[in-house]
Structure 1
Amino acid sequence: MTSNVDAAFRQQGGHIHVWDSQYGAKAEAFSLFRETICTAFMPWTPEFYGRDFVGRVESIDLANGAIGRVRMSPIVAVKTKSNISHSPIDCIHGNLIISGELKVDQGGTTNIAKRGDLILYESFSPVTLTERPDAPCDNLAFIIPTSSFAHSQDIDHKFSNILVPSEKLSGPLAGCLTMLAQSLCTAPIEEIAALFQACVALLPVAIGAPDCVQHPSVPKNYLLSRILDYIGQNLSDPELSPPRVADQFGISVRYLHKLFVQFGTTFSAHVTAERLKRIKWDLEVSSGRRPSISALAYRWGFNDLSTFHRAFKKQFGCTPSNSHARDLAGECGIGLPNTALAQKRG
């Protein structure tokens, strides 16, 4: 069942498992999908009533759960009493809907999650998931052991069929889930693990159950402040990386990522934003003959111009080569971008 894609990730030292229906016979696609889902997210009984099943699963096993991006033809999935009895641990399931719709029936309640919504339900109670039959479903799926939450012995159905509409998803939780969905196969495993841990911490607050929140020790602001200062002094170095910074401060790379995630961003996002801020400032204040765009990009640590141009346009809504500095400032907005971290330093 291991695809060429899966093998490629393993060769790179990753922990990502990939299954895609295009790598096997059509007749076996759904049975292999069912096996993949049961392996990644514990026993289920999925059923497919169409003709040709198409699907792709990208999943990662983590120390405190599992997470995956699942794209597939519409199915009906049931967690039966038999499935529950064969499940090794009690977990909370969750799905962030990227496209399509998901109807969840559990505990006598029916909820329909649409694009942008988050739906949560328990592994230790029978549940039926029905996807909208006329639209392929794309979602970020995850499981979290109940032991990850405070007073786990008293969970008492707090997560039983809970719908969190997109408009009520908190900013930090929505941001972490979105980053996971977008970068599951590309971000370092330490960054994925830190983002997932942040989601675990934020979920009880999202459903109004703060008594379920674990309270780990909060990192001291002075450590983060020192790290930010170090990054600011070394932005021009293209070799600036999480391992280098972690080694500089005697902490693990995983803990470094956790520090950034707790403040609503990631290491790479912060470094990119700070570099772009410096470049934009140089463009705005330059008089006479200003430096070339490429020279500025290389000066501030970008070693790939196409990556720089994409990041600049995404950050400011325009390209860096728009005539003079003042025109650039007027078109992109005068003033420097504030990152989430910069607002919390003090």
Structure 2
Amino acid sequence: MAVLLDTAALPRQDRAEAFYSAMMSASVPSRIEHEDPDGEVHARMDFWRLGTPDLFRNEGSGIRLVRTPEHVRIGGPERLALAVQVIGSGRFSQSGSDQRVRTGELMLVDLTAPYEFAWSGQGASQAFQIDFADLGLSVETVRAAAHRLPSSPLYDLMLHHLTALPGVIDALQGTQPAELVGTATTQLVRALLTSAVGDADRRPHAIADVLFTRITWYARQHLADPELTPARIAAEHNISVRYLYKLFAEQQLSLEQWLITERLQGAARQLTDPAYRHRSIAAIAAEWGFLDAGHFTRRFRREHGMTPRDWRRTNQRP
């Protein structure tokens, strides 16, 4: 276990800034609002690495986390979090749905999308964070399961497992079994979500969901390759181009538009990355497959509401 933050050791005036830094290192970019910023802000954050997934626990005074569309555009790991409210009662909102999360209840957070989460007074939440690529389910399947978790016969098992996990991992710290527990927990989460969605009409789509996830993972690894075409993607996965388009259509997506959007997001991240500060906009555009600077500017403005130059100036990180 790593203690990311313990405000008991910090001067009061430094606690809010330290909280922000610790939260950003453990999760995705978001805005943090303290219930009483001028009062007794206090928190402790613990972090466990279990191979690729991780476990993150935050306990402290009242907070509100807001992940906005702007935060999503800046980027971040493509992950989800399955969390249990350990102390107090939380309020969670995502995709137009509001949820009261009481002590001992689960909530599922799609970290690739905007959301809000808050608690008042003393509270604590414990989240198991997983990459979508490791879970093997599409974003759409995960979002469909998010509002139906209590309907799964695995809900109580998952709740008990997640609650007991810190003690188990502390006993296995630094050993290979700790990573195996991470893998097993990932599979349990997958079973929970599949069973929550999973009536008889849903099960035949499970293989297509896994294939779709593998295809999008592969495409994201090769977005900068100008030779990444539908024909190549299909050939790499031993399917026809027609079936490839069908997979995307079933997710209400256009393959070409999805590729363009992903490339635009990659370019947007590099434009704000200090490591690329001295690279020209045209060079970054070309790296993401946009060889026509005018075309890149038009598509970028349509996606982000401003030109690449304005985006870089407005969102440049220190």
Could you tell me the TM-score, scaled by structure 2's length?
0.55
**Helix, strand or coil at the partner of 2:143:** coil
User: Hey, what does 1:121 align to over in structure 2?
Assistant: 109
Alignment of 1:106-185 (within 5 A): 106-131=94-119, 133=120, 135-152=121-138, 155=141, 157-160=143-146, 163-164=149-150, 169-171=155-157, 173-185=158-170
User: Hey, what does 1:232 align to over in structure 2?
Assistant: none
**Cα displacement (A) at 1:39:** 0.6
- Aligned residue pair count: 198
Closer, same or farther: CA 159–57 of 1 in aligned 2, 3 Å: farther
User: Hey, what does 1:95 align to over in structure 2?
Assistant: 83
Distance 2:153 2:118 in 1: 23
Distance 1:167 1:71 in 2: 29
Q: Retained in 2: the 8 A contact 1:47–1:75?
A: yes
Distance 1:209 1:128 in 2: 23
User: Hey, what does 1:205 align to over in structure 2?
Assistant: 191
Q: In angstroms, what is the RMSD of aligned CA positions?
A: 2.9
User: Hey, what does 1:25 align to over in structure 2?
Assistant: 11
Distance 1:81 1:119 in 2: 21
Alignment of 1:1-346 (within 5 A): 16-50=2-36, 51-131=39-119, 133=120, 135-152=121-138, 155=141, 157-160=143-146, 163-164=149-150, 169-171=155-157, 173-190=158-175, 191-207=177-193, 208-209=196-197, 211=206
Closer, same or farther: CA 58–80 of 1 in aligned 2, 3 Å: same
Q: Retained in 1: the 8 A contact 2:28–2:77?
A: no
Q: Retained in 1: the 8 A contact 2:91–2:101?
A: yes
Closer, same or farther: CA 142–162 of 1 in aligned 2, 3 Å: farther
- What letter is aligned with 1:59? F
Distance 1:119 1:58 in 2: 19
Q: Retained in 2: the 8 A contact 1:106–1:160?
A: no
Closer, same or farther: CA 167–155 of 1 in aligned 2, 3 Å: closer
**Cα displacement (A) at 1:136:** 0.9
**Helix, strand or coil at the partner of 1:198:** helix
Tell me the alpha carbon deviations over residues 151-177 of structure 1, each in whole angstroms, 9 at most, x when there is no partner.
Answer: 436646235456549996242x23421
Tell me the alpha carbon deviations over residues 98-144 of structure 1, each in whole angstroms, 9 at most, x when there is no partner.
Answer: 1111111111111111111110020121101021x2x3112212321
Q: Retained in 1: the 8 A contact 2:91–2:99?
A: yes
Distance 1:109 1:82 in 2: 20
Distance 2:51 2:70 in 1: 26
Q: Which of 1 and 2 has higher RCO (CA within 8 Å, sep 6+)? A: 2
Closer, same or farther: CA 168–66 of 1 in aligned 2, 3 Å: closer
Distance 1:62 1:201 in 2: 13
Which protein shows a greater Rg? 1
Distance 1:103 1:43 in 2: 19
Structure 2's unaligned 5+ residue stretches are 199-205, 211-318
| Larger helix share, 1 or 2 | 2
Q: Retained in 2: the 8 A contact 1:16–1:185?
A: no
**Cα displacement (A) at 1:33:** 0.9
Q: Percent identity?
A: 15
Could you tell me the TM-score, scaled by structure 1's length?
0.51
Closer, same or farther: CA 163–33 of 1 in aligned 2, 3 Å: farther
Structure 1's unaligned 5+ residue stretches are 1-14, 215-346
